[in-house]
Amino acid sequence: MAPHEDRTYHGVQHSPDHDGSVIEVTLPSEGWNLPSPRVLYRLAEPKGLNFTWGYDGRGTTVSAAAILADVLGLSVEEVDFGGDPQWDGLREAFCHDILAQQLDEWRLRHRAVVRWAGGWYAQSGIKDVPQILRQGPPPPRY
């Protein structure tokens, strides 16, 4: 599925319709009268690993890897847990800065993650950045 620029990541810990936590990718409602966003898809948990957040641990690392992979246009299978220092740094900083601070349910806009990741690359002095970060975040839709 081609990424949609206005998507939002929605995490629900202890989801009633799923055994564990889920991260859905949604589109905003098209108008004021619509009750909820439209779900595009759910991020897949890597085999044998679970999504969590609200602390800095293994499940938070898994959640960060899935969100960052989706934003950067990678598949979960391409994500390396412990082999690439650049990826490890990006993922662990996202855990610490963003996901460890979240409560049981949260929403995070795609463009906010793009801005955050672009800032992390710049602050780290890394010039070779993924294509989406070279473009910058898409402008807000009003």
List pLDDT tens digits, range 105-126.
Answer: 999 999 999 999 999 999 999 9
Q: How many domains does the chain have?
A: 1
Residue 2 domain-assigned (yes or no): no
AA identity, residue 104: D
The answer to whether residue 1 sits within a structural domain is no
Taking alpha carbons only, the member of 60, 31, 65 closest to residue 46 is 65
Q: Are 10 and 24 in contact (CB under 8 A)?
A: yes
Q: Is residue 24 part of a domain?
A: yes
User: Is 95 among the domain residues?
Assistant: yes
Tens digit of pLDDT for each residue in 7-60?
A: 899 999 876 776 788 999 998 766 666 566 788 888 888 778 889 999 988 899
For residue 118, is it within any domain?
Answer: yes
In this predicted structure, what is the pLDDT of residue 80?
63
Give 53's contacts (C-beta < 8 A, 6+ positions apart). 11, 13, 21, 59, 60, 63, 99, 100, 102, 106
Instruction: Decide if 126 is inside a domain.
Output: yes
- In terms of residue numbers, what domain contains 104? 8-135
Is 141 among the domain residues?
A: no
